[in-house]
Amino acid sequence: MPDPRVSKLADLVVRYSTEVRKGDFTVITGSYAALPLIKELVRAILENGGNPSVYFLEEEVEEIFYKYAKDEQLEFVSPLSRLMIEKADVRISVLSSTHTKHLSTVDPEKIRKRMAARRELTEIFMKRDAEGSLRWNVIPYPTKALAQEAEMSLVDYEDFVYKSCMVDREDPVEAWCEQARRQEEIVKLLSMVSEIRVVGEKTDLTIRVDGRKWINDDGKKNMPGGEVFTGPVEDSAEGVIYFEYPAIWRGIVVEGIQLKFEKGVVVEAKALRKEEYLKKILETDEGARRIGEFAFGLNYNINRFTRNILFDEKIGGTIHIAVGAGYPITGSHNKSSIHWDMIKDMRKGEVYADGELVYRNGRFLIEL
């Protein structure tokens, strides 16, 4: 028998997050380590009348690919990958890493070329998300490697994961509906705002969000959910921002990042560790130097950094930006083959909306 929380998570994602319906072509991706959850997802999808297809992805295979692939192979886009992006009604991606540093010795230029070649797939995904023809969700499955990254025992990490997803509750759907209601109040506030200014440690950054849509991430796109986000006006970012938390891209950890923006573009990038890697990824394409996403983390069940962006970008009391591709659903026009989230601790910071203080020390000042 699986952990009952695993079954609850599968039911939550299939019935609440993605709302799988009769006949839906539903693609599940994940590693063999996540087999207990994948089996429960297949069960729940079948019970809802969907048609599940499972594709296992293993980090050791990806490592071999980057070790031996030549340029023309790095630039090859599989017709199967294209088919899944173009034709799936629902896509559920299970994060279940068993080796979080498997690409740490790969030449960043190889990763850049690979991501650039897959840019069209990213754009198709974003377009289908915006038009509502693809329902998708990214979900976690706790592994020893992820527990080690979070500096937790496996048992404690399992408790953390399932609490973050609120499947430790008697009625997880009701819990997420209440989270959605509170976040919607924040969306209403921010939807009336033209300019946002973030002030904090080594940070004074201003962006414009007029004409852009704020999205309530209530667990429909990610599980756990717990953020509100938008796509800033592409040429609006001015100032500097420093990220207390490490930023991780394809398993590479970059620490102490500070970015300086002028007219929306990163004109200076510094890091205490892996600075050259940071600069290389920012050179992926023109859009990689602009902000595609700006967000507030609002899941206060997540109160620690785990080196897993699925959780870390939702930490209650943080903000994050993503350099690279913006979500068209927000009104963003920024295109890139990357989307790299970077997280800032705001528990000693402030946010001003059109000059008015609306957020201090990790909390909005409005009643929720």
Q: pLDDT tens digits, residue range 288-330?
A: 999 999 999 999 999 999 998 899 999 999 999 999 999 888 9
Give the closest residue to 247 by CA, choosing from 283, 287, 282, 199. Answer: 282
pLDDT at 368 over 90: no
The identity of residue 235, as a single letter, is D
Task: Compute the distance between CA of residue 252 and CA of residue 8 in angstroms, rounded to an integer.
Answer: 32
CB 34 within 8 A of CB 40: no
Residues of the chain with CATH 3.40.1830.10: 4-168
Q: Is 185 helix (H, G, I), strand (E, B) or coil?
A: helix
Task: Compute the distance between CA of residue 200 and CA of residue 319 in angstroms, rounded to an integer.
Answer: 11
Query: In this predicted structure, what is the pLDDT of residue 58?
Result: 86
pLDDT tens digit sequence for 126-174: 889 888 899 999 999 999 999 999 999 999 999 999 999 999 999 999 9
pLDDT tens digit sequence for 1-41: 678 999 999 999 999 999 999 999 999 999 999 999 999 99
User: N- to C-terminal Cα distance for the chain?
Assistant: 40
Bridge-partner residues for 27, per DSSP? Answer: 53, 91
The contacts of residue 76 (CB under 8 Å, 6+ apart) are 117
Higher pLDDT, 72 or 250: 72
The contacts of residue 158 (CB under 8 Å, 6+ apart) are 3, 5, 142, 147
Bridge-partner residues for 91, per DSSP? Answer: 27, 136
CB 322 within 8 A of CB 341: yes
Element (H, E) at 119: helix 119-131
CB 99 within 8 A of CB 59: yes
Query: In this predicted structure, what is the pLDDT of residue 36?
Result: 96
pLDDT tens digit sequence for 94-120: 999 888 777 777 887 888 888 888 888
CB 354 within 8 A of CB 306: no
Pick the CATH number of 4-168 from 3.20.20.70, 3.40.50.1980, 3.40.1830.10, 1.20.140.10: 3.40.1830.10
Could you tell me what percentage of the chain is helix, strand and coil, using 3-state DSSP and rounding each to the nearest 5?
35, 30, 35
Task: Compute the distance between CA of residue 259 and CA of residue 282 in angstroms, rounded to an integer.
Answer: 11
- Full strand arrangement of the beta sheet holding 51-56: 51-56, 25-30, 90-95, 135-140
Task: Compute the distance between CA of residue 325 and CA of residue 315 in angstroms, rounded to an integer.
Answer: 22
